[in-house]
Structure 1
Amino acid sequence: MSGPLVLTARLPAALFGQMQGLRRAHYPPERNHVPAHVTLFHALPPSSLGEVHRLVARLCAMTRPPAAQLAGVVDLGTGTAVAVHSPALEAVHADLATALHGLLGLADQGTPRFHVTIQNKVPRRKVRALQAALAGRFQGEPFAFAGLDLHSLQRLPEGGGTWQTQAQWTFRGR
């Protein structure tokens, strides 16, 4: 394992299928190397693998699936995302951020804006067209996150990277 660790929240199967379909249709195929996801932490150090594994396993065993809802389309400038509103996932993130303090880089220290990226690094005209097509969709649809997934990022010479899944946990709390 050479790259940073990425911790993501796993979407339920039906919503994952819908978001993955949008990614396949609108994300540049040469850059679409990872599945649809909601990122909690972008770049944990590889040396923290054991600590992160123990911490997340314990947290998922005690935590019920965090309730969430889709919160509209987000303009990323060169892309489009679907916003996710989830105070319960924010609490999970805050607990993990406290436990991982000192391991978090700048990108992971702030308040997260949860979303699923469905298009990125495309011309602005394509961004506007997709956002117009999706206007009014993804507003208030409830769901619950299924679990957390830990990946190691393997950078590609041409840019971007692929993920190697290191571990997956299911929320099991009551």
Structure 2
Amino acid sequence: MAAAPPFIVTAALEDSAFDWFDDLRRAHFPPERNKVPAHLTLFHQLPGEHEAQVAETLKAACQAAAGPMAMTVRGPWSLGRGVAFRLASPDVESLRGRLAQAFEPWLTAQDKAPFRPHITVQNKVEPDQAKALLEALQHDFQPFEIEAVGLLVWRYLGGPWEPVARLPFGETR
């Protein structure tokens, strides 16, 4: 029997921020490779066979949150063959740290690595194409604030992701 597909956990962004990043991603990501919407990944691979435990841990963390969490979009950053925006948020970073402790036995090397919050808007292009976009995005860039309003849970399907749950911060159900 095949293992259950793993889960990916991302931050749910406020609508206007999501739309802005997703528009950039659709404009600059190679269409044949753009299988998922713009996202801020907190965990790349949590075990699908532990769905109940993963769900309970995430729900409890979201219910314990006071509400939306402020994030600063610090600026565009070169990925070499793409561009991402760096983000900073003590609240999101603290939440991610607590969740990493809870999920520690299941974390992959990628999820054990230091958390560097970012949203990728371009990837897997030629370096000069990435450099041109980076320069265009850096021109007149000013840091700005957005909010994470919850967590999104996805099932990884070998390329595309299937939405599983949207868990708002600070809501009890």
Task: Output the TM-score relative to the length of structure 2.
Answer: 0.93
Instruction: Please list every run of at least 4 consecutive aligned residues from structure 1 whose deviation after the TM superposition is greater than 4 angstroms.
Output: none
Instruction: Tell me if 1:110 matches 2:113.
Output: yes
Q: Percent identity?
A: 36
Paired position in structure 1 for 2:103: 100
Instruction: Tell me if 1:150 matches 2:153.
Output: yes
Contact conserved, 1:72 with 1:136, CA < 8 A, in 2? no
- How far 1:138 sits from its partner (Å)? 5.0
Q: Provide the secondary structure at the position in 2 that maps to 1:96.
A: helix
Which amino acid is 1:164 matched to?
E
Paired position in structure 1 for 2:57: 55
Which amino acid is 2:49 matched to?
S
CA distance in 1 between partners of 2:141 and 2:34 (Å):
22
Q: Provide the secondary structure at the position in 2 that maps to 1:145.
A: strand
Which amino acid is 1:22 matched to?
L
Contact conserved, 1:7 with 1:42, CA < 8 A, in 2? yes
Instruction: Tell me if 1:164 matches 2:166.
Output: no
- How far 1:93 sits from its partner (Å)? 0.4
Which amino acid is 2:112 matched to?
Q
Runs of at least 5 residues in structure 1 that lack an aligned partner in the other structure? 156-160
The partner residue of 2:90 within 83, 87, 90 is 87
Runs of at least 5 residues in structure 2 that lack an aligned partner in the other structure? none
Paired position in structure 1 for 2:7: 5
- How far 1:139 sits from its partner (Å)? 3.5
Q: In structure 2, do the counterparts of structure 1 residues 65 and 14 end up closer, same or farther at CA, with 3 Å as the change threshold? A: same
| 1:17-56 alignment, distance < 5 Å | 17-56=19-58
Q: Provide the secondary structure at the position in 2 that maps to 1:90.
A: helix
> What number of residue pairs does the alignment pair up?
168
CA distance in 2 between partners of 1:48 and 1:13 (Å):
30
Q: Provide the secondary structure at the position in 1 that maps to 2:104.
A: coil
RMSD of equivalent CA atoms: 1.4
Instruction: Tell me if 1:123 matches 2:126.
Output: yes
CA deviations 1:114-170 (Å, max 9, x no partner) are: 011000000011101101110145542012201101101111xxxxx0000111100
Q: In structure 2, do the counterparts of structure 1 residues 76 and 26 end up closer, same or farther at CA, with 3 Å as the change threshold? A: same
CA distance in 2 between partners of 1:98 and 1:137 (Å):
39
CA distance in 2 between partners of 1:22 and 1:154 (Å):
24
Paired position in structure 2 for 1:77: 80
- How far 1:50 sits from its partner (Å)? 1.1
CA distance in 1 between partners of 2:12 and 2:43 (Å):
13
CA distance in 2 between partners of 1:90 and 1:28 (Å):
30
Contact conserved, 1:149 with 1:167, CA < 8 A, in 2? yes
CA distance in 2 between partners of 1:137 and 1:86 (Å):
22
